[in-house]
């Protein structure tokens, strides 16, 4: 009977891992800025999670565990492809794509490009905290860094992102009454 319960739990866990694909992809895209690579990272993370599911000690921490796996996959990729050291200086094209006809899609695209210009360590922290809603403690565990480092990187990332977005969307006198900077 215990074996049957364990199999059901394992099956449920595998389903939850498979269902996390979109979340993993979003964060991977924020980290690397390349759709194909982000898809590969998400797939590799899910495969490693399914294969090693018995290593997960607390199912409530599934996403933190998966992001830790993805972080390891990401660093392995960077080690294999040393040419990506310049990734932090890479600025995607400003040319609008076919899906940017809608103003909201254009805004999302510009924010993604601005995030892609952040240093990798800042991209990782800001995507986990602001995109995925992780606590500082969880981010510290996922990235295996001190919580103070998480806070410092997040502050720097937000400041850098704000300055980049202000260059793209300068505040005009017409919008000053509607928008204000909240610190």
37-54 residue pLDDT tens: 999 999 999 999 999 988
pLDDT at residue 8 greater than cutoff 90: no
User: Contact 42/33 with Cβ under 8 angstroms?
Assistant: no
Cα 87 from Cα 78, distance rounded (Å): 10
User: Contact 68/138 with Cβ under 8 angstroms?
Assistant: no
Helices (H), 20-146: 21-32, 35-51, 62-80, 103-116, 120-126, 136-143
0.75 exceeded by pTM: no
What is the model's pLDDT at position 2?
Answer: 43
Residues 88, 36, 23, 42: is their CA dihedral positive or negative?
negative
User: Contact 28/38 with Cβ under 8 angstroms?
Assistant: yes
Lowest mean pLDDT among 28-42, 137-151, 156-170: 156-170
User: Contact 42/26 with Cβ under 8 angstroms?
Assistant: no
75-117 residue pLDDT tens: 999 888 875 445 455 556 566 545 445 677 777 778 888 888 8
Cα 26 from Cα 127, distance rounded (Å): 9
């Amino acid at each position: 009977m215990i074996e049957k319960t364990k199999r059901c739990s394992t099956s449920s866990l595998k389903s939850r891992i498979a269902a996390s694909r979109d979340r993993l992809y979003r964060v991977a895209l924020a980290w690397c800025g390349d759709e194909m690579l982000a898809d590969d990272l998400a797939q590799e993370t899910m495969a490693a999670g399914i294969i090693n599911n018995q290593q997960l000690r607390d199912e409530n921490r599934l996403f933190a565990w998966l992001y830790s796996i993805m972080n390891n996959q990401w660093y392995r990729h960077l080690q294999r492809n040393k040419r990506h050291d310049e990734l932090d200086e890479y600025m995607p094209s400003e040319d609008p794509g076919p899906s940017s006809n809608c103003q909201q899609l254009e805004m999302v695209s510009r924010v993604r490009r601005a995030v892609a210009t952040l240093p990798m360590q800042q991209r990782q922290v800001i995507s986990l905290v602001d995109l995925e809603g992780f606590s500082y403690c969880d981010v510290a565990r996922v990235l295996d860094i001190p919580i103070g480092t998480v806070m410092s990187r997040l502050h720097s990332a937000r400041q850098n992102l704000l300055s980049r977005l202000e260059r793209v969307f300068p505040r005009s006198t017409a919008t000053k009454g509607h928008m204000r900077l909240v610190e």
